[in-house]
Every structure is written in structure tokens, then in C-alpha cells.
């Protein structure tokens, strides 16, 4: 049985709501990744260092957060790859950038409101 090809419009109609729903469970891994970036930037001297984050043993939490981020990224990529690779005429770079934005921007909005 041959694989069914999709029109790029169908991929966008499936992908946008799917990724907005995936943004809900991805909020915590994104937040922990931002914490890891903040600590790394502080250690490299690119940002002001917050010693309370480092002194309270946040390294373990940051490590778990990065593992969660990798696992979440694999799930998001896998779910999107199920139908995105079936559209040969899809503008792939634009779609994958939109996927990343649809995951990260709601998470950042949730963090700022929270």
C-alpha cells in the first residue's frame, strides 16, 4: 500500500492546532531549559550571576529539565514528522520554524503571566 501524500495546506491545518496543544505539556521543559541557559550565561560572564540558584543545588533540576527537553523535543519532532514528511511540496524550513515558535512562544507567555 502506497503512502498517501498530503497537500501543504493540510499539513498546516493539522500542525498548527497540534503544536498549540503540545505547547501545554512542553511549558515546564522550556522553563527548565531557560533556567539552564540563565545559569550557563552567568557562568560564562554574559549575564549577571544569581548565586542563590547555584548554591541551592539547581544543577540536578537543570539536568533533569534538559533531559525532559530532549525527550519532549523527540516527541514533538516525531508527531510532526508523521505527516510533515508526506507533503513533498511543503516549505520545510518555514514549517519547522513555525513548529518551534508554536511550542516556545506560548510557554514563554505562560511563564511571564505566571
Mean pLDDT of the chain: 86
Residues 49-86: pLDDT tens digits? 777 766 677 777 778 878 888 999 999 999 999 988 88
Does this model's pTM top 0.85? My answer is: no
Q: What is the pLDDT of residue 1?
A: 57
Q: Which of 111, 106, 104, 108 is nearest to 73 (CA)?
A: 104
Residues contacting 8, CB < 8 A, separation 6+: 87, 89, 90, 91
Amino acid at each position: 500500500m502506497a503512502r498517501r501524500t498530503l497537500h501543504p495546506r493540510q499539513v498546516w491545518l493539522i500542525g498548527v492546532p497540534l503544536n498549540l496543544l503540545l505547547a501545554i505539556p512542553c511549558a515546564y521543559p522550556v522553563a527548565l531549559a531557560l533556567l539552564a541557559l540563565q545559569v550557563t550565561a552567568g557562568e560564562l560572564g554574559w549575564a549577571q550571576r544569581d548565586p542563590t540558584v547555584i548554591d541551592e543545588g539547581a544543577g540536578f533540576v537543570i539536568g533533569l529539565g534538559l533531559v525532559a527537553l530532549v525527550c519532549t523535543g523527540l516527541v514533538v519532532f516525531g508527531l510532526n514528522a508523521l505527516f510533515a514528511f508526506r507533503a513533498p511540496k511543503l516549505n520545510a524550513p518555514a514549517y519547522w520554524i513555525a513548529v518551534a515558535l508554536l511550542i516556545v512562544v506560548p510557554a514563554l507567555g505562560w511563564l511571564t503571566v505566571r
